Amino acid sequence: MTNLSVNINKVATLRNARGENRPCVEQVAVDCEAFGAQGITVHPRPDGRHIRHDDVFRLRTLVKTEFNIEGYPSPDFIDMVLKARPEQVTLVPDSPQQVTSNVGWDVALNVDFLTSVVECFKGVGIRTSIFVNPEADVIKMAARTGADRVELYTKPYADMYASDPEAAVAPYVEASKIAHGCGLGVNAGHDLSLENLEFFHSRVPYLNEVSIGHALICDALYLGLQETIRRYRGCLMKR
């Protein structure tokens, strides 16, 4: 069973464009769950351009499935996560200037730092995932930090999918096997869509969760949120 976590950052981006509360981020999260999402993901950034810290605390009281908070583990991020106590935190190596997460951690270079952060979160019962490229050495090093899972960065797969799907997915198949062998759960995310998700899911073993935001919200503009979530869930029910 592979769970679908819906990233609602883009909903907050639209809300922030007018400075009011439409669309309502909290209501969208509740509706996503009602429509079949098995988790809600948010990624609060230092500039508050989409999800903000106050959103995190309001959502924490409403989300009934799995609440996943992504972000760079700065002191203020760590403090927020410890107060919100989500089910999962995903550590990403983003700088404040990045538009989106576009590379995984150099875990070897940051192993002591990541180990200390993982210990902090696991000490209070928060599952911890590290955002990585699908590379064997990186995944093995991630296991040394004590993390529970890795999240595989899937944009390279999405970029190659149309021209050579088998070649595109091959590194992720191997990466997932290696992660599983190291005792890590496997998440995946970035540019997964209705066009490429079913194939990815059919090939990659041990896949616990996918986190999808931008493509899903774009599809919802045409299909409606309920139908969009139904279709994404459908992609994860086939092997």
Q: Indicate the helix (H) or strand (E) that contains 120.
A: helix 111-122
Out of 70, 151, 201, 209, the active site residue is: 70
Longest Cα separation, the chain: 48
Name the one residue in this structure whose structure tokens are 């595989």. Answer: 152
Is 50 one of the annotated active-site residues of the chain?
A: no
Find out whether 147 and 130 touch, Cβ atoms under 8 Å: yes
Q: Residue 233: exposed, middle, or buried by beta-carbon count in 10 A (0-12, 13-18, 19+)?
A: middle
190 is catalytic: yes
SS3 56: helix
Give me the catalytic one of 33, 151, 190, 209: 190
Residues 6 or more apart whose CB falls under 8 angstroms from that of 199 comprise: 161, 165, 169
Q: Which residues are catalytic?
A: 43, 70, 190
